[in-house]
């Protein structure tokens, strides 16, 4: 079976990133490895991943390898200053699941949007009564270099299609 819309895809890969700064590109460095013990599964065509990522995987079959680069503009784009916000520290209470040290600079805070979907923000600076958070995607501004293999391709179930995500061992548990 080949990767098409509404298939569940399982990948193993290494993701390296690089950034162009003042016309000098940094050497790619590894930021994520998904191996056979922890493959990455997603619903093709409904993943929320960059469009170009899915486009370059379309038509591949189980066992096929892949190697491609997404330029920052094809991936998560450039940083948006409007995604950097000062939030009152009073919103990050222990009653809401926040612990001491979570607001330290450089940490990523696990948050939820207004619809209950998980999201994260990077703590940029402690401003006293407020904390400066960056809600941009962590890979914004980077070129993404993927090298890996298609581990599995299968038809999505009706339930997966109606929920919009993968269920079971490698997906969402309800």
Average pLDDT of the chain is: 91
| pLDDT, tens digit (0-9, with 9 covering 90-100), for 141-166 | 999 999 999 999 999 999 998 888 88
| pLDDT, tens digit (0-9, with 9 covering 90-100), for 63-113 | 999 999 999 999 999 999 999 999 999 999 889 889 889 999 999 999 888
Own/partner contacts of 165-172, CB < 8 Å, gap of 24 or more, are 165/43, 165/46, 166/8, 166/41, 166/42, 166/43, 170/10, 170/39, 170/41, 171/8, 171/41
- Could you tell me which residue, 58 or 173, shows the higher pLDDT? 58
pTM for this predicted structure: 0.81
Q: What domains are defined for the chain?
A: 7-77+140-163 (3.10.50.40), 81-134 (2.40.10.330)
Percent of the residues in the chain that have a pLDDT greater than 70, as a whole number: 94
| pLDDT, tens digit (0-9, with 9 covering 90-100), for 99-139 | 889 999 999 999 888 888 788 999 999 999 999 999 999 99
């Amino acid at each position: 079976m080949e990767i098409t819309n509404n298939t569940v895809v399982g990948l193993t890969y290494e993701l390296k990133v690089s950034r162009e700064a003042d016309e000098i590109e940094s050497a790619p460095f590894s930021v994520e490895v998904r191996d056979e013990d922890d493959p990455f599964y997603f619903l093709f065509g409904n993943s929320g991943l960059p469009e170009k990522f899915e486009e370059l995987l379309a038509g591949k079959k189980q066992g096929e390898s892949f190697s491609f680069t997404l330029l920052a503009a094809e991936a998560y784009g450039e940083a948006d200053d409007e995604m950097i916000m000062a939030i009152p520290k009073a919103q990050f209470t222990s009653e809401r699941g926040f612990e001491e040290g979570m607001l330290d600079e450089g940490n990523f805070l696990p948050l939820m949007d207004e619809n209950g979907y998980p999201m994260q923000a990077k703590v940029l600076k402690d401003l006293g009564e407020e904390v400066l958070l960056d809600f941009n995607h962590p890979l914004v501004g980077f070129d993404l270099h993927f090298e890996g293999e298609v581990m599995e391709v299968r038809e999505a179930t009706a339930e997966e299609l109606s929920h919009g995500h993968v269920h079971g061992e490698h997906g969402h548990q309800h």
